[in-house]
Amino acid sequence: MASIIQSAHSPCLRQLPARHTTTASKLMLHASFHGCRRPCISISSASARLGGPVRAKAAVSAADSPVTSGLENGSGNSSSDKVLLEVRGLTAVIAETRQKILKGVNLIIREGEVHAIMRKNGSGKSTFAKVLVGHPDYEVTGGSVTFKGENLLEMEPENRSLAGLFMSFQSPVEIPGVSNDHFLRMAYNARRRALNLPELEPLEFFTYVSKKLELVNMDLDFLNRNVNEGFSGGEKKRNEILQLAVLGADLAILDEIDSGLDVDALKIVAQAVNKLLNPTNSVLMITHYRRLLEFIKPGFVHVMEDGRIIKTGDITIADILEKGGYQALASP
């Protein structure tokens, strides 16, 4: 959620009507607490996809994906071989305390691939995701991250999202006083402006967003409600996927998108994510539970421990974790 909150300096927030002035500053507070201080519209850079039909694709099946280890994931026959994200030796500390959290993360994600990172709480999964989107609580101390050939770490958070990086946060933020409809349209139009496309008028946007609502099985009423305010846990998660559907992304990082969902809600969320997958975009899921991986099938499962990816393989890794607990995967 915070990934689509704009900086106060951005044209988007300046577009808020005067009655939203107080809200805008609250929104900034939310943004700095939960997400990025100077964020960030999370929208795909693939202009061809904007407004166009979403190409459905079956998620990568485990059988299709070779077991790989270490940095090189192998080609993965569902992927295009084109590297989307390349992380090498990434280290990061908590900016305030200098506590080391990431201790050398290596990861390659190619176009069209679905990846999952698993492991128990406190291993650094969310930190890794937040460092990728440029969260100000963390400072990168070493390593490199390339996204679509560009040095991601040199990019401002908002430019990371404009480049096609989306993150749904583990705890989506509420934004009192800003309707979902207004928020999504503001974000979507910012993206269109960046792509030199004409902005959508409210009615045009309504037509566009209505189809996306169907995708996540959300009622039209959700457009009029304030962003995430009073939403149940499941509704918040669906709202995150709605944002992803509206904005699009080349790489969507979904942090515990399954938490707090019953199986029916999980199916809806997973189906929506699967429909958004196409041969050129990718998903990085963070989860504790194998259950999610039954619905969104990853080609690659990584185990993170103490700020590093200690194992990479296919879905059988998740089976081992499920059956034997995390002890079953001792560090090599």
76 binds, among ligand ADP, Mg ion, none (CB under 5 to 8 A by kind): none
Based on CB atoms, which residue is closest to Mg ion, 125 or 236?
Answer: 125
Separation of CA 84 from chain center: 14
What track of x and - describes contact with Mg ion for positions 140 through 159 (by CB under 5 A)? --------------------
CA angle 190, 196, 198 (to 5 degrees): 75
Q: 278-307: string of b/e by CB count within 10 Å (b at 16+)?
A: bebbbbbbbbbebebbebbbbbbbbbbbeb
User: What DSSP line would sit under 113-153, residue for residue?
Assistant: -EEEEE--TTSSHHHHHHHHHT-TTEEEEEEEEEETTEEGG
Q: Taking CB within 5 to 8 Å according to partner kind, which of Mg ion, ligand ADP, none is near residue 229?
A: none
**Nearest distance, CB of residue 3 and ligand ADP, angstroms:** 16
Is the torsion defined by CA of 110, 112, 116, 122 positive or negative?
positive
Tell me, residue by residue from 134 to 173, as one string, x for binding to ligand ADP by CB under 6 A and - for no binding.
Answer: ---x------------------------------------
Q: How far is the CB of 174 from Mg ion (least distance, A)?
A: 19
Verify binding: residue 196, ligand ADP, rule CB under 6 A.
no
- Any contact of residue 103 with ligand ADP (CB under 6 A)? no
**Residue whose pair of structure tokens reads 């089976």 in the numeric block:** 319
> Minimum distance from CB of 92 to ligand ADP (Å)?
10
Q: Which does 162 bind (CB under 5 to 8 A by kind): Mg ion, ligand ADP, none?
A: none
- Which residues are at the interface with Mg ion (CB under 5 A)? 125-126
- Which residues are at the interface with ligand ADP (CB under 6 A)? 94, 101, 121-127, 137
